[in-house]
């Protein structure tokens, strides 16, 4: 869905300037957001219009950078609705702020920045500890890795939209409204358990901070949370909590190192680290493409059991992706040819056969089912 949104934005941008050089096509005027007298459809359509090549390139870069992982967590339809809602709430925030502060409400507004800010706000909640590589240049060019929570809050929200508000043609309040919507909406979804729990997201971090403070305050007052004075039982709980914290830090370190090595193209090493991660009984999977890359690496290395386990985890979390039928085909081949489980192989092959559209893959699937059937006879 994230790629589809990028494609739609690019296509509409091309149509806006088609045949008119640098001049905006007149038909686009009615689809911009006019804060003084907005039409209902403009709360969505304005977010698919862009004023210049740099405008759309910048927006689509950030949508690509942050959107894919949020898409993975929300699912395709959920992500689309969230993106559109982010655009709507950003527009409302811009209009309310302009009216409250006496700013101009006559200037039309366009651009996906508000909706993308909502996506970035969601990323902050879902992946606060993820390291983002930032390129900088002073007297030389270098890179530095910054946790997402600090980069987004300090640089993108506070500095870019509160401190540096010098540009006259930038809807800063729409950006801030988008960030606020993205952060609060995802926190709410986590609070009511409509999103799959993840021990590394902001909601889980907040709960751990709260629990630690409660125990620390009670221990400081000489009170046993289970009744009576502080006892050895409390000391054991504190040790256990510290062990859990160390385990969580180990898992986070493994996930980050896996993503780094995938980014470096070192899939063999990333796959070895993934096996260490699996031993930690982590329920939350890697991002969709990363998990698929590792499963493919196991497959190419002939590690059939590991490949099957990775592909099955992929299907458990990302079954709605556009190439799930190819994954089912691979699982059918692995179980049929290498793991001696024809029953399981046939289950996957039959599911894949009904969904495959590529003629060559469909033929391969059919041949594999015939081979398994002939062995039964």
- Per DSSP, the residues of 120-189 read HHHHHHH-TT-EEEEEEESSSEEEEEEEHHHIIIIIIIIIIIII----TT--HHHHHHHHHHHHHHHHHH
pLDDT value at 66 more than 90: yes
Distance from C-alpha of 3 to C-alpha of 64, rounded to nearest angstrom: 8
Residue 46: which pLDDT band, with cuts at 50, 70 and 90?
very high
% of the chain at pLDDT higher than 70: 88
More confident residue, 356 or 9: 9
Asked whether residue 240 is assigned to any structural domain, the reply reads no
CB of 173 within 8 A of CB of 98? yes
Residue at 228 is within a domain: no
Half-sphere exposure of 91 (CA within 13 A, CB side): 30
What residues have CB less than 8 Å from 58, skipping those under 6 apart?
none
Residue 101, token pair as written in the block: 């502060």
Residue 336: what pLDDT?
Answer: 92
**Mean pLDDT value across the chain:** 85
pLDDT of residue 221: 57
Q: Which residue has the higher pLDDT, 224 or 197?
A: 197
**Res. 252: pLDDT tops 70:** yes
Mean pLDDT, range 300-329, rounded to an integer: 87
Please report which confidence band the pLDDT of residue 220 belongs to, taking 50, 70 and 90 as the band edges: low
- Give the residues across from 145 on adjacent strands: 133
Mean pLDDT confidence for 263-272 = 86
Q: How many domains in the chain? A: 1
Mean of the pLDDT values across residues 277-302? 84
97 occurs within a structural domain:
yes
Structure letter (DSSP) for residue 44: H
Token pair for 330: 């691979």
Helices (H) and strands (E) in the chain, counts: 15, 2
Task: State yes or no: pLDDT of 99 exceeds 90.
Answer: no
Q: Does some domain include residue 166?
A: yes
CATH of the domain at 121: 1.20.1540.10
Identify whether 253 is part of a domain. no
Q: Which two tokens stand for residue 376?
A: 């039964």
pLDDT of residue 177: 94
Query: What is the pLDDT averaged over residues 90-119?
Result: 86
d(CA 80, CA 32): 20
Task: Work out the average pLDDT over 198-222.
Answer: 72
Instruction: For residue 308, name the pLDDT band (cuts at 50, 70, 90).
Output: very high
325 occurs within a structural domain:
no
- pLDDT band of 214, cuts 50, 70, 90: low
Structure tokens at 119: 């996506």
Q: By residue range, what is the domain housing residue 25? A: 2-191
What the block records as the tokens of 91 is: 């527009």
Q: Are 307 and 292 in contact (CB under 8 A)?
A: no
Query: For residues 343 and 327, what is the distance between their CA atoms, to the nearest angstrom?
Result: 17
Considering the domain boundaries, does residue 27 fall inside one? yes
**pTM (two decimals):** 0.59
pLDDT of residue 206: 84
Confidence of residue 233 (pLDDT cuts 50, 70, 90): very low
Interatomic CA distance for residues 308 and 324, integer angstroms = 14
Q: Which residue has the higher pLDDT, 100 or 305?
A: 305
Residue 315 falls within a domain, yes or no?
A: no
- For residue 238, pLDDT over 50 is answered with no
| DSSP tag of 264 | T
- For residue range 14-36, what is the model confidence (pLDDT) as tens digits? 988 876 656 677 788 889 998 88
């Amino acid at each position: 869905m994230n790629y589809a949104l990028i494609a739609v934005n690019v296509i509409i941008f091309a149509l806006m300037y088609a045949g008119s050089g640098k001049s905006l096509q007149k038909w686009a005027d009615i689809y911009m957001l006019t804060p003084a007298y907005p039409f209902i459809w403009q709360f969505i359509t304005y977010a698919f219009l862009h004023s210049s090549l740099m405008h759309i390139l910048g927006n689509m870069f950030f949508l690509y950078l942050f959107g894919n992982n949020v898409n993975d967590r929300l699912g395709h339809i959920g992500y689309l609705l969230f993106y559109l809602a982010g655009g709507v709430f950003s527009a409302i925030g811009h209009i309310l702020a302009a009216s409250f502060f006496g700013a101009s409400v006559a200037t039309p507004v366009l651009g996906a920045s508000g909706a993308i800010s909502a996506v970035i706000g969601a990323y902050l909640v879902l992946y606060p500890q993820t390291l983002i590589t930032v390129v900088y240049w002073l007297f030389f060019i270098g890179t530095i890795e910054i946790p997402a929570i600090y980069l987004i809050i300090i640089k993108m929200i506070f500095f870019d939209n509160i401190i540096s508000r010098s540009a006259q043609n930038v809807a800063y309040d729409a950006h801030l409204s988008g960030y606020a919507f993205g952060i609060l909406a995802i926190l709410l979804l986590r609070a009511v358990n409509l999103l799959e729990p993840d021990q590394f997201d902001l909601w889980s971090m907040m709960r751990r901070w709260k629990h630690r403070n409660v125990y620390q305050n009670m221990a400081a007052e000489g009170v046993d949370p289970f009744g009576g004075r502080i006892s050895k039982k409390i000391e054991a709980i504190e040790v256990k909590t510290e062990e859990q914290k160390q385990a969580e830090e180990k898992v986070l370190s493994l996930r980050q190192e896996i993503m780094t090595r995938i980014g470096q193209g070192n899939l063999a090493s990333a796959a070895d680290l993934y096996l260490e991660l699996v031993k930690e009984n982590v329920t939350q999977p890697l991002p969709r493409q990363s998990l698929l890359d590792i499963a493919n690496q196991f497959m190419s290395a002939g590690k059939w059991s590991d490949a099957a386990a990775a592909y099955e985890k992929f299907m458990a979390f990302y079954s709605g992706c556009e190439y799930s039928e190819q994954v089912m085909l691979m699982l059918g081949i692995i179980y049929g040819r290498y793991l001696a489980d024809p029953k399981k192989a046939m289950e996957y092959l039959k599911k894949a056969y009904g969904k495959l559209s590529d003629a060559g893959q469909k033929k391969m699937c059919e041949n594999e089912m015939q081979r398994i059937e002939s062995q039964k006879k």
